[in-house]
């Protein structure tokens, strides 16, 4: 999920369920022990969000506003300060008495960045980077004549860098129940439940090529994945077909922007 820096009135989602049973639960501002927060950047401290109840899902944005959407899923209205420029991501979450709250993370994009091109002599790819060396992530750059090295082209789309290198597993779809519920085939899949929860499954072939979703439930015995949330946690936009090829990508790599994933 991407949010443009300095945006106003941004709403996100969180899931809530009873810790003891896993049953969906509705969270309101009156929920016992409710504590919501956001955190900016990798090393940012948690900032408390003061919750209030929204009347309907169509109600205008109100900082800290919350309302159940359906089942576990809730709307949360972030304060504008959460997406101010200066960091590359924002995370949100919370807790309540006897309730597990599963928040989320968004990339903060569209910030002014100083780009550099190395001016020292290079052999092979020129080193072009925006606070990082793209060559280290697999980008190829060509050089042109002139004074110093000049970046003329990046021949690998940055948004598709390192899918293969960053994948922890790959395989194909086996049996499809729905576009949000299907089983996987791979020799290396774990038999442990929720081993891949919150990993991204990204299709590399088929109707959803380059589209990714965050896994909500993984059943080890049957190698079943379910996408039971909203947005990038929910249903794939196009028909999933047996035999479609996929990669599993750690959430940290998607959030850091090392791997590009389309939402639709």
Enumerate the domain spans of the chain.
2-109, 113-156, 163-255
- Strand pairing class (89-96; 217-219): unpaired
Give the per-residue pLDDT at 123: 39
Q: Enter the DSSP assignment of 230.
A: S
Residue found under tokens 């016992």: 32
Calculate the CA dihedral of residues 183, 189, 193, 198 and round it to 10 degrees: -80
DSSP E strands, the chain: 2-4, 11-18, 35-40, 46-49, 52-53, 65-70, 73-77, 89-96, 99-109, 116-117, 128-129, 169-178, 181-185, 200-203, 212-214, 217-219, 224-226, 245-249
Report residue 188 as tokens.
């290396």
Task: Find how far residue 65's CA is from the centre of its chain.
Answer: 22
DSSP E strands, 141-216: 169-178, 181-185, 200-203, 212-214
Encode pLDDT of 173-203 as tens digits.
Answer: 999 999 999 999 998 899 999 999 988 898 8
How far apart CA 161 and CA 209 sit, in angstroms, is 15
Q: What is the CATH number of domain 2-109?
A: 2.60.40
Contact 13, 1 (CB under 8 A): no
Give the per-residue pLDDT at 21: 94
Encode pLDDT of 2-46 as tens digits.
Answer: 888 888 999 999 999 999 999 999 999 999 999 999 999 988 899
How far apart CA 241 and CA 148 sit, in angstroms, is 50
Give the per-residue pLDDT at 154: 36
Task: Find how far residue 35's CA is from the centre of its chain.
Answer: 23
The pTM score is 0.46
Q: What is the number of helices (H) and of strands (E) in the chain?
A: 2, 18
Q: What is the CATH number of domain 163-255?
A: 2.40.30
pLDDT by 10-residue block (mean), the chain, 264 residues:
86 95 96 96 93 95 95 95 91 96 90 44 36 40 38 37 68 95 92 90 89 92 92 90 91 50 50
How many Å is the maximal CA-CA distance in the chain? 67
Nearest one of 103, 88, 63 to 2, comparing CA atoms:
88
């Amino acid at each position: 999920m991407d949010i443009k820096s300095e945006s106003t009135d941004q709403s996100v989602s969180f899931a809530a369920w009873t810790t003891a049973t896993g049953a969906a639960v509705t969270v309101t501002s009156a929920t016992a022990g409710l504590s919501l927060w956001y955190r900016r950047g990798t090393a940012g401290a948690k900032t408390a969000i003061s919750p209030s109840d929204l009347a309907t899902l169509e109600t205008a944005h109100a900082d800290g506003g919350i309302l159940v959407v359906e089942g576990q899923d809730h709307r949360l209205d972030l304060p504008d300060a959460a997406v101010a420029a200066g960091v590359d991501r924002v995370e949100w979450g919370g807790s309540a008495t006897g309730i597990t709250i599963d928040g989320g993370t968004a990339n903060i994009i569209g910030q002014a960045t100083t780009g550099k091109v190395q001016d020292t002599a290079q052999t092979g790819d020129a080193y072009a980077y925006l606070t990082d060396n793209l060559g280290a992530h697999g980008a190829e750059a060509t050089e042109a004549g002139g004074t110093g090295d000049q970046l003329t082209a990046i021949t690998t789309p940055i948004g598709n860098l390192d899918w293969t290198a960053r994948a922890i597993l790959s395989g194909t779809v086996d049996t499809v129940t729905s576009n949000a519920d299907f089983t996987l085939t791979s020799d290396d899949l774990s038999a442990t439940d929720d081993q891949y929860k919150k990993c991204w499954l990204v299709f590399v072939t088929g109707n959803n090529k380059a589209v990714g979703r965050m896994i909500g439930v993984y059943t080890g015995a049957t190698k079943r994945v379910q996408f039971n949330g909203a947005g990038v946690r929910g249903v794939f936009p196009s028909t999933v077909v047996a035999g479609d090829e996929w990669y599993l990508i750690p959430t940290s790599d998607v959030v850091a922007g090392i791997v590009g994933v389309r939402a639709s």
